[in-house]
């Protein structure tokens, strides 16, 4: 058994994170016409959690529909929709790198959904290639579950997993991917977004924006060209140190880079080059310098005028007042956020009420964890 399964077993108590075998995160969709959508990938996350350290075993795993519906970010699924999601996952053929070999296999070997009256229960077995890879895994990604379940696109979900795997590497803070490799990692359907400008505008930029907006990572990217043709993308990442940075600027120790707008990078119809101001990359000596010290004014969070309409508070500026007022130990912030939205809706109170912060803090002070 590899180290990853032991880590998953040892940290089963951690409800806020899941520990994913790195080899599985690095998997690529094998040129699929219809790769799994965002809801199917969220179900996949719940299946990982339900299987725990037994995910490499040739055995049935179970998950009931009520437990799926209780998760933030998952819509109110019907039995028929659950069947369709398992069909999406069953049809996903992945390519995994295992030593010197490329292993090809399906995510699932079989799945069953109980059709008798009573609670809807799903059972499944993971595919043989999946289990083989998981069994020997020695490195892993730490996935923030509330962030993953808050994602709204397949591309953002996959990019978040890629960065989570690389975030703690001490020797690198960027990696270059060919366009073909990046398309396979993100799950771009076969025959779609084949032009660079479309891939950039429809997949890469939205994924980067969403990861920057709701995760603990700061991500940016620049295209790599051969002549005038874009042949790859270099992705930069860093880990933000506290919640208030998430809606702010990137960490100052990284170059502020973004993908060049699509109208200037189409490889099919290149335009005359323009003079553009480019921030110089950080030099080797600059990376060791201390970052600019923030003043008290810099550190002060922006006014919290609108309560988030969806998702967890875990990596938002609302997490700090929540933790300050909620009973200890701090309950799951995704559950707290959903409860407050229901409370506000029941009172027909807008989430941008002028006193929303004060109302939320008072509500948190009276919050009681259901046993």
Q: Which long-range contacts link 183-188 to residues 24+ away (Cβ below 8 Å)?
A: 184/28, 184/29, 184/30, 184/31, 184/95, 185/26, 185/28, 185/29, 185/158, 186/154, 186/155, 186/158, 186/159, 187/29, 187/32, 187/35, 187/36, 187/154, 187/155, 187/158, 188/35, 188/155
| pLDDT at residue 297, as a whole number | 37
| pLDDT at residue 304, as a whole number | 66
Q: Is 171 left (phi over 0), alpha (psi -120 to 50) or beta?
A: alpha
pLDDT digits over 196-206, tens only?
Answer: 999 999 999 99
Rounded to whole angstroms, how far apart are CA atoms 108 and 257? Answer: 39
| pLDDT at residue 271, as a whole number | 40
Beta strand 93-98 with 28-29 is antiparallel
pLDDT digits over 229-273, tens only?
Answer: 999 999 999 998 654 444 433 333 333 334 444 434 333 433 434
Angle in degrees, CA 264, 267, 273, rounded to 5: 40
Side-chain half-sphere exposure of 46, counting CA atoms within 13 A:
28
Which H helix or E strand runs over 94? Answer: strand 93-98
Rounded to whole angstroms, how far apart are CA atoms 247 and 215? Answer: 10
Question: What pTM value is reported for the model?
Answer: 0.67
| pLDDT at residue 88, as a whole number | 93
| pLDDT at residue 235, as a whole number | 95
List b or e across 253-273, with b for residues whose CB sees 16 or more CB atoms inside 10 angstroms.
Answer: ebbebebbebeebbbeeeeee
Rounded to whole angstroms, how far apart are CA atoms 258 and 235? Answer: 9
- Spell out, as residue ranges, where the chain has pLDDT lower than 50: 243-303
| pLDDT at residue 338, as a whole number | 86
| pLDDT at residue 187, as a whole number | 94
Which residue in 237, 226, 235, 210 sits closest to 265, CA to CA?
A: 226
Rounded to whole angstroms, how far apart are CA atoms 131 and 138? Answer: 14
């Amino acid at each position: 058994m590899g180290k990853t399964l032991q880590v998953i077993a040892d940290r089963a108590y951690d409800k806020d994170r899941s520990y994913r075998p790195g080899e599985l995160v690095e998997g690529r969709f094998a040129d699929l016409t219809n790769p799994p959508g965002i809801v199917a990938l969220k179900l996949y996350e719940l299946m990982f959690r339900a299987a725990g350290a037994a995910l490499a075993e040739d055995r049935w795993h179970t998950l009931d529909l009520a437990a799926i519906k209780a998760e933030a970010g998952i819509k109110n699924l019907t039995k028929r929709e659950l069947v369709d999601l398992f069909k999406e996952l069953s049809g996903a053929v992945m390519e995994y790198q295992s030593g010197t070999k490329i292993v090809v296999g399906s995510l699932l070997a079989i799945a069953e959904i109980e059709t008798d009256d009573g609670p809807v229960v799903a059972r499944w077995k993971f595919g043989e290639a999946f289990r083989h890879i998981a069994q020997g895994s020695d490195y892993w990604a730490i996935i923030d579950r509330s962030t993953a379940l808050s994602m709204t696109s397949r591309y953002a979900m996959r990019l978040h997993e890629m960065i989570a795997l690389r975030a703690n590497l001490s020797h690198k803070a960027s990696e270059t991917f060919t366009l073909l490799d990046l398309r396979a990692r993100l799950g771009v359907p076969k025959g779609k977004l084949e032009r660079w400008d479309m891939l950039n505008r429809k997949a890469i930029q939205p994924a980067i924006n969403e990861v920057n907006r709701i995760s603990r990572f700061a991500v940016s990217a620049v295209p790599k060209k051969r002549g005038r043709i874009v042949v790859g993308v270099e992705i930069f990442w860093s880990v933000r140190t506290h919640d208030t940075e998430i809606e702010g600027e990137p960490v100052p120790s990284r170059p502020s880079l973004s993908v060049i707008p699509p109208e200037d990078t189409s490889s099919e119809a290149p335009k005359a080059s323009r003079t553009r101001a480019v921030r110089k990359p950080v030099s080797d000596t600059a990376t060791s310098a201390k970052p600019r010290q923030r003043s008290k004014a810099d550190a002060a969070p922006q006014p919290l005028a609108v309560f988030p309409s969806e998702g967890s508070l875990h990596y938002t500026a609302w997490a700090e007042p929540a933790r300050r007022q909620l009973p200890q130990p701090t309950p799951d912030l995704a559950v707290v956020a959903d409860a407050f939205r229901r409370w506000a809706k029941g009172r027909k109170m807008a989430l941008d009420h002028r006193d929303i912060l004060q109302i939320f803090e008072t509500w948190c002070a009276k919050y009681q964890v259901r046993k």
